[in-house]
Structure formats: C-alpha cells, structure tokens
C-alpha cells in the first residue's frame, strides 16, 4: 500500500501538484479515520492544493513587496488618530480605490504612523491578490539613476512597474536635481492610471516644487499624481516618542 501511495505522489508531482503529493499520506489517514466518501476525499484534496498554492503565492508577493517590516492594519491604532475615522479606515481596507487606480498621499511629521498605515494597506492588498512594491524615495532615485547599466536595478524597476500598488516612502525628504526629477516624472507617467501609488511625506505637495530644480517638471508630476488622489493629514504626535523604550 505504501508503495502505491509513493507512486501516486510521483504522479501528482509530474502533474505539478506538489502540495497534493506532499499532503497525500496524512489526507489518506484522515479519510480512513473519518470514513469519507470519494466525493468528500476529492473535495479535501482539491481544497488543500488550492490553499497551499495561495499560501505560497502570498509568501511570494510578500517577498516581492520588500516591506521593511510586516505590520497589518490591526497594528494601526486608529483610536490614536485624528486624521482617520474607523469608517474611513474600513473604506480604505476595502481597496476599491486600488481597483480604480486612485493614489494616496499620507502627510505628517516623523512617527505619525504614515509608513505603518501604508504597509498595512499594502499587506491587505497582498492578501487580496494584488502585487505590491515598497521603496523609499532615496532607493527609488538610486534605482532610476542606475537602471541603464545595473541588472539589479532593471529587475527591481521591472517589478515595480508591474505592481498594482507602489508605495514610495519619505518622498521629498531632500531636494532633487533636474535629472532626478525628470527620471521620477517618467516613472510617474508610466504608472499613471495603470497602478495606484501611496506616497508618504512630511512636506505638503505645495512645498515639493521648492525642492526640485525645475518647476515645470514638478508641476507635471503633481498633475498626474493629484488627478485621482486622496490626501490624508496625519498630524498626531509621534508614536515612537509616545511608546519609547528606555534602559532605566
């Protein structure tokens, strides 16, 4: 009997049903103990394969996203926020804005929870089958400037452009020269109405023009970003200071 199970496992592997092959022995034991019908057994078998594939798919998308930390929306303390109500957070969680290619700008001082909220929404999107890519503004500029001659940058930007949701953290925390602004414009133009973008910043869009060497380029960038955009002002106190950890 064990030999025939091994042979069936090999057959499942040839059919590229690796998860079914791995879980077959335990599933057969459960079937015998519970006296499953053939139909019940097949239902359990297919459900197991689908579940395992989805788990692997989520794991792959999480790796692709490159989050600096894994924080779900459950970790986001909505009761400490003045910028969002529980109803608005639930609306964001539904991700209808992502399906419609809307953008979000999360504004506020350091430690206000902008990055945590962005990652939480990204994690929610991954759970629902979307491709997500997280990058800081500094990393993004480096990727854009080295795309022509670095294979790693080419791969990362290809993944970014193929994503349904792109999260750019700490945008405009420092000035950009004309070349950097032009490269950023080209990227935003490619993503325009194709993907949703979440931007986090401690400076309002009105201040961004001052940090770019070319006002025309920044105006063109803002024109595309703000066309379908929701701005959330998170002006609460820093949660890092509030929950600071001390030695003594």
pLDDT in tens, 51-85: 888 889 999 999 999 999 988 888 887 777 777 88
The whole-number pLDDT of residue 120 equals 94
- 130-153 pLDDT, tens digit per residue, is 999 999 999 999 999 999 989 999
- Which alpha helices (DSSP H) does the chain contain, by range? 2-14, 18-34, 38-65, 86-94, 96-99, 114-127, 137-146, 151-161, 178-191, 205-208, 215-225, 239-242
Question: Using CA atoms, how far apart are residues 166 and 186, in angstroms rounded to an integer?
Answer: 15
Tokens 């703000």 appear where? 226
Question: Using CA atoms, how far apart are residues 19 and 52, in angstroms rounded to an integer?
Answer: 6
| pLDDT at residue 246 tops 70 | no
The whole-number pLDDT of residue 241 equals 40
- Domain 73-242 fold: Rossmann fold (3.40.50)
The whole-number pLDDT of residue 219 equals 86
Q: To the nearest whole number, what is the mean pLDDT of the chain?
A: 86
Angle, CA of 45, 46 and 50, to the nearest 5°: 120
Which one, of 62, 111, 141, lies nearest residue 244 by Cα?
111
Task: Find the range with the poorest average confidence among 38-42, 112-116, 194-198, 203-207.
Answer: 203-207
The whole-number pLDDT of residue 66 equals 94
- 78-132 pLDDT, tens digit per residue, is 777 777 888 888 999 999 999 999 999 999 888 788 899 999 999 999 999 999 9
Instruction: Band the pLDDT of 10: cuts 50, 70, 90.
Output: confident
Question: Using CA atoms, how far apart are residues 193 and 228, in angstroms rounded to an integer?
Answer: 9
The whole-number pLDDT of residue 245 equals 57
Instruction: Band the pLDDT of 240: cuts 50, 70, 90.
Output: very low
Cα torsion angle, 208, 220, 91, 134, sign = negative
Domain with CATH 3.40.50.300 in the chain: 73-242
Pair of tokens at residue 222: 């803002």
R_g of the chain computed on alpha carbons:
23
Reported as half-sphere exposure (CB side, CA atoms, 13 A), residue 114 has a value of 28
The average pLDDT across 206-234 equals 83
Question: Using CA atoms, how far apart are residues 142 and 37, in angstroms rounded to an integer?
Answer: 59
| pLDDT at residue 154 tops 90 | yes
The whole-number pLDDT of residue 244 equals 52
| pLDDT at residue 2 tops 70 | no
The average pLDDT across 164-177 equals 88
Check if the beta carbon of residue 64 is closer than 8 Å to that of residue 35: no
Which one, of 161, 91, 101, 100, lies nearest residue 121 by Cα?
91
Check if the beta carbon of residue 219 is closer than 8 Å to that of residue 191: no
Tokens 């496992």 appear where? 9
């Amino acid at each position: 009997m064990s030999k025939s199970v091994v042979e069936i496992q090999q057959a499942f592997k040839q059919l590229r049903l690796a998860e079914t092959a791995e879980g077959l022995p335990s599933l057969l034991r459960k079937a015998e103990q519970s006296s499953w019908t053939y139909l019940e057994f097949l239902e359990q078998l297919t459900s197991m394969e689908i579940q395992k594939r989805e788990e692997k798919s989520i794991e792959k998308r999480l790796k692709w996203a490159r989050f600096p930390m894994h924080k779900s929306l459950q970790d986001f303390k909505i009761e400490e926020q003045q910028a969002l109500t529980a109803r608005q957070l639930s609306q964001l969680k539904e991700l209808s804005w992502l399906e419609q290619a809307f953008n979000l700008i999360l504004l506020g001082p350091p430690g206000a929870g902008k990055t945590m909220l962005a990652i939480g929404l990204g994690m929610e999107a991954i759970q629902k089958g979307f491709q997500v890519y997280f990058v800081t503004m500094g990393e993004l500029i480096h990727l854009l400037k080295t795309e022509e001659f670095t294979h790693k940058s080419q791969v990362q930007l290809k993944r970014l452009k193929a994503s349904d949701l792109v999260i750019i953290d700490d945008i405009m925390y420092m000035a950009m020269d004309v070349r950097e602004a032009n490269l950023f414009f080209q990227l935003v133009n490619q993503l325009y109405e194709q993907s949703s973008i979440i931007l986090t910043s401690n400076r309002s869009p009105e201040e961004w023009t001052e940090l770019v060497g070319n006002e025309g380029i920044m105006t063109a960038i803002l024109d595309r970003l703000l066309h379908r955009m929701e701005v959330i002002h998170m002006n609460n106190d820093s949660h890092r200071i509030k929950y600071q950890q001390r030695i003594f």
